[in-house]
Amino acid sequence: MERTIYREIGLTRGVKVLAAVLALVLLAALWGVVYVEEEGHIVTGMNNQIVWGTPHVFAIFLIVAASGALNVASIASVFGKASYKPMARLSALLAIALLVGGLAVLVLDLGRADRLIVAMTKFNFTSIFTWNIFLYTGFIGIAALYLYVQMARGMPARYVQAAGMLAFLWRLALTTGTGSIFGWLVARPAYDAAIMAPLFIAMSFAFGLAVFILALAGLFWLSQRALGPLLIRRLGRLLAIFAAVVLYFTAVQHLTNLYAAEHAGIERFILRDGGIYTALFWGGQVLIGGLLPIGLIFHPRLGARAATVHLAAGLVILGGFAQLYVIIVGGQAYPLEIFPGYAASSSFFDGSVNAYSPSLPEISLGLGGVALALAITVLGVKILRILPTNLSDANVAVQAGAPKPA
């Protein structure tokens, strides 16, 4: 084989089972939407103090991962790595699917569907949320254009490179905008930091690649196509580097806050006294999402197995949810300092840690966003020629111009 052939996946038994499971999860999410809309947000764990809950954790994860999922396509077209080119179509499709899934969670969490009309017709350009509307919709359009120029017959390579460069720059802007939602909220001591933007970019690289690895492996397993272990290990090493970068920016963020006296309280809360948030930070984010997958991938014996890379990718995803839960929910749980330098006392929870417990409708809505992203991906590879028929190490080596392994 000297060229990559793309084919739709067949309607195998595994695909049917996956479709049935995704349909059930989507139905459960629809129940959650209707229930919250009918009863109001009082039935969720959210309240006047914590207005962003578990659905927002899922939504931000999917949006951040969407930007990172496009990284594989960017490596192929922007940085000229030919071995990544056969996976570029799936990379673009998965990026679109993840972003749609994340935005669906945000829209359905509005409580009233008519509020979306206000967001679409009334723009406040002094708000980062307004800018993000254009960043998100623009990303979908650019990723779709990128996918088209990759699939069109006879498309000149320079057009593919130009579309890839535009998508690469736009995804950086998108993740910068998402991180700036938190970095520009000066009222919250847990946020209010310019490093939130590069931290979210690093998180997108790690989360998106982890999702891509599992999606790639799962789709090739369902369609019974060859996927070379050397390729998976290469992606795994890249994932470990991205996970290390996330740990680096996280360390810089907290060391900077520890240096500033005004952030001492929030740092004690997150790092030592925060209960579940402290446990999620050290156990979920640092250990499960960072140190453990890095150690597994670079282990001299275990790291040589494709299953180890799959496990590491799953751990990075779990650590990503823990990290975003600490950032989003933990950042709101810490009490606001209304009058810096003064003690305030009233009946409005001044100085007290805000309580929050995820409810079943919130969890079902978040999982529904994940299921929607997976359903779009499976439907895309079913009706479009997205997935290569052969990604064995020998075939990838030929595509990259290397000698074919004996």
% of the chain at pLDDT higher than 90:
58
In the DSSP assignment, the letter for residue 44 is S
Q: What is the pLDDT of residues 274-283, one digit of tens each?
A: 899 999 999 9
Tokens of 137: 């919709």
Statement: residue 158 has pLDDT above 60? yes
Q: What are the structural domain ranges in the chain?
A: 13-399
Average pLDDT, the chain: 88
Contact 133, 86 (CB under 8 A): no
Q: Whole-angstrom Cα distance, residue 188 to residue 186? A: 5
CA distances from 352 to 15, 245, 270, 344, 349 (A): 49, 34, 15, 11, 5
Structure tokens at 132: 């993000």
Average pLDDT over residues 46-51: 88
Q: What's the mean pLDDT in 151-177? A: 90
pLDDT band for position 320 (cuts 50, 70, 90): very high
User: In this model, does residue 148 exceed pLDDT 60?
Assistant: yes
Buried b (16+ CB within 10 A) or exposed e, 252-261: ebbeebeeee
Q: How far apart are CA 46 and CA 253, in angstroms?
A: 27
The percent of residues in the chain predicted with pLDDT above 70, rounded, is: 92
Determine the Cα–Cα distance for residues 332 and 150; give it in Å rounded to an integer. Answer: 43
Kindly report, residue by residue over 228-266, the tens digit of the pLDDT. Answer: 889 999 999 999 999 999 999 999 999 998 888 788 889
Mean pLDDT of 337-366: 78
* Residue 347 pLDDT exceeds 70: no
DSSP-assigned letter for residue 204? H
Closest among 30, 1, 79 to 389, alpha carbons compared? 1
Cα–Cα distance measured from residue 199 to residue 182, given in angstroms and rounded to the nearest whole number: 11
pLDDT of residue 406: 41
What CATH code is assigned to 13-399?
Answer: 1.20.1630.10
Q: Read off the pLDDT band of 47 (50, 70, 90).
A: confident
- Whether 365 has a pLDDT exceeding 50, the answer reads yes
Other Cβ atoms less than 10 A from the Cβ of 244: the count is 16
Is the predicted pLDDT of residue 1 greater than 50, yes or no?
no
pLDDT tens digits for range 105-140: 988 887 666 777 777 788 888 788 888 888 999 999
Residue 393 confidence (pLDDT): 74
pLDDT at 2: 46
- Is residue 322 within 8 A of residue 284, CB to CB? The reply is yes
- What is residue 274's predicted lDDT score, i.e. its pLDDT? 87
Q: Return the pLDDT at 117.
A: 79
Q: Is the pLDDT of residue 403 over 60?
A: no
Residue 111 has a pLDDT of 66
Short-list 246, 279, 326, 334, CA closest to 60: 326
Reported as a single tens digit per residue, the pLDDT across 169-221 is 999 999 999 998 888 887 788 888 889 999 999 999 999 999 999 999 999 99
pLDDT at 344: 66
Is the pLDDT at 379 greater than 90, yes or no?
yes
How does pLDDT run across 57-105, given as a tens digit for each residue? 999 999 999 999 998 998 888 888 888 889 999 999 999 999 999 999 9
3-state secondary structure 99-119: HHHHHHHHHHCCCCCCHHHHH
pLDDT the model gives residue 352: 76
* pLDDT recorded at residue 132: 85
Token code pair at residue 4:
């990559």
What torsion, rounded to 10 degrees, do the Cα atoms 48, 50, 52, 58 define? -140
- State the pLDDT confidence band at 405, using cuts at 50, 70 and 90: very low
User: Which is nearest to 232 in space by CA: 374, 358, 72, 59?
Assistant: 72
Q: Which pLDDT value is given to residue 187?
A: 77
Residue 300: pLDDT above 80?
yes
